[in-house]
Amino acid sequence: MTPFAIAGVQMHVNALESNVDGMLQRLDLLMIRFPWTQMVLFSELAAFGPLDQYALPPENETLERFQAAAVKHHVWLIPGSMFITDPEDGRTYNTSVVINPQGEIIRRYAKMFPFRPYEAGVAAGTEFCVFDVPDVGRFGLSICYDMWFPETTRQLTSQGVEVLLHPVLTGTTDRDAELAIARATAVQFQCYVIDVNGLGAGGIGKSCVVDPTSMVLHQSGGQEDMFPIEIDLDMVRRQRETGMKGLGQVLKSFRDRSTDFSVYDRASGTDEYLKTLGPLEIPHKGTKAGIDTLTPEMRVPYPQLSTGSDINPGFAHKVLPAFPDEPLPNPSAGTAIPTEEIVPTGAPVTAMPTPPVKPGILTGSSVNDTSSG
């Protein structure tokens, strides 16, 4: 067993004033109550809230305070994220840092998928965040909306990430959908997911910890919460080798795939349908976007299928023979053909009476007939 204790801190976040003092106080309390904690994760934008007007330069006093706290408690510290303005390009990024127990910032990560169109003024990062905890395992970091794009987790786990640290700020009605995505991500990529949301201006809570089988190890409610959880990295390695419950070996199956995905080649034309969806913008009142439009097959015509087409390589495209003509209806179908009965000349013709049907005996059957039909 390779145990490692990670604590999430779900706390109230103010939008118009600093939350740094409150974060450090809660960190002190956490370490008094649970001194065995080895890593601490706060929620997205916990330090200053969701307004980018409080953006700071890459080197600032707040980060120095967090570095000192990591040394004080000898823990790995990920203090959520904060808006950082790059002095070179002047753009603002939603940035998280990883601080080791020696107080060193070993990684910086800028959110790849800002929640557009609502975060239109936030630039997107392009670098992934992977780091090792010595003698423990490999960790990766993504922020909130990043997880809605499984490509981000695919990239991390393909580099060996075993624990996904995921600070979020969700105060909207899609939080339950995010929880479903967190569970699906854990089992799809055979990793732990540590998902920490805030409260107040920082979200509606419901933080969670999910193991590689999609089991929820902890689920917070809508109140402040500190939840240290000891995870087992050997469980990740075992599952990746033998499959979840001895079943799906997902990462190895992806590794051994027989196809690449043309949708990731922007010049392939596979994503033509996506280009018909209109601009990425906030809906307006009464909008009928997507309703008064053509169906998908009318927007992007399918290529003409023909013999020898390479639309689906590996499959032969055959022209199927036409169905035979429907047979004409038989005018005598269902009509009994009368049998001519020889009647002596001059004998009166009388109708054959219909015998009564006895219970349990089918019409036309003989009493001595033992056939089951």
Token pair for 322: 């036409």
* 339/287 Cα distance (integer angstroms): 75
Q: Which residues 6+ apart lie within 8 Å of 52 measured at CB?
A: 83, 92, 121, 122
Which residue type is seen at 19? N
Which residue type is seen at 348? P
Bridge partners of residue 231, in order along the sequence: 4
Strands 92-99 and 82-85: antiparallel
Specify whether the CB–CB gap between 39 and 78 falls below 8 A. yes
Nearest to 100 by CA among 82, 73, 81, 127: 73
* 25/27 Cα distance (integer angstroms): 5
Rounded (10°) angle between helices 175-188 and 150-158:
30
How do the pLDDT tens digits run along the chain, 373 residues long?
889 999 999 999 999 999 999 999 999 999 999 999 999 999 999 999 999 999 999 999 999 999 999 999 999 999 999 999 999 999 999 999 999 999 999 999 999 999 999 999 999 999 999 999 999 999 999 999 999 999 999 999 999 999 999 999 999 999 999 999 999 999 999 999 999 999 999 999 999 999 999 999 999 999 999 999 999 999 999 999 999 999 999 999 999 999 999 999 999 999 999 999 999 999 999 988 888 666 666 666 665 544 444 545 544 444 555 555 655 555 555 555 555 555 555 555 555 555 555 554 444 444 444 444 4
* 160/137 Cα distance (integer angstroms): 9
* 147/14 Cα distance (integer angstroms): 25
Q: Is the pTM of this model over 0.85?
A: no
Nearest to 49 by CA among 221, 174, 171: 171
Tokens 């979840």 appear where? Answer: 244
* 237/287 Cα distance (integer angstroms): 49
* 44/143 Cα distance (integer angstroms): 7
Specify whether the CB–CB gap between 226 and 9 falls below 8 A. yes
Report the length, in residues, of the chain: 373
